[in-house]
Amino acid sequence: MTGLGQEILTTDESAPTDVEPVRHAFPRTRRREKGYDAAAVDAFLDRARASFESDGTADDAVTAASVRDVSFPLVRGGYVVTAVDSALGRVEDAFAAQERAQALSRLGARAWVEQQRADAQVILDRLSRPRRARFERVSVARYGYRLEEVDLVADKIAGYLADGTGVSVEQVRSVAFRMQRGGYREAQVDALLDAVVEIMLAVG
């Protein structure tokens, strides 16, 4: 792996690049505090590195989506969560750029742009629904995402899709909502946010 890819997957610019497996220099939590299991993080990043180097042709290939969805066990003395999450964001960016280049080569620029427009329009159609009715809601006996908070973020995303400004990919990645009875169904909101991240990374 060269340049950006090596940097984001090792998180240590001074680390040797010819030693296998790569040891990822994340800070660790104190003994009584929990963080991501180091072995699980190292194994995933080593697999991601191999997949990136093979341009996605390796067995069990890693993608931008699988980087975004990965989860790790929490253990005492593990890697600091925020440090790993920050690195994973850069890894996802690198895979998204690679996948964008591959898609452009495969589809051609015009077809690729039309595909992104179509995906964005699907999201805009949902976000144009009336407030408090943009997603399915759970029963009043259950907790879902707070309606007004989701609607506020939805308005900002709709603005971004309309003119390309106002929201960054990091803001979408890190958004969090409080809970309320009868709120929006979490899985549906999360799926839309994932789709927005994919579009933002695809268009660069």
Mean pLDDT across 158-186? 94
> How far apart, in whole angstroms, are the C-alpha atoms of residue 204 and residue 108?
16
Q: What are phi and psi of 2, to 5 degrees?
A: -115, 155
> Looking at this protein, which amino acid is placed at residue 24?
H
pTM for the whole thing?
A: 0.75
How high is the pLDDT of residue 20? Answer: 46
User: Tens digits of per-residue pLDDT, 58-108?
Assistant: 667 899 999 999 999 999 999 999 999 999 999 999 999 999 999 999 999
CB 23 within 8 A of CB 15: yes
User: Tens digits of per-residue pLDDT, 95-110?
Assistant: 999 999 999 999 999 9
State what percent of residues in the chain have pLDDT above 70. 87
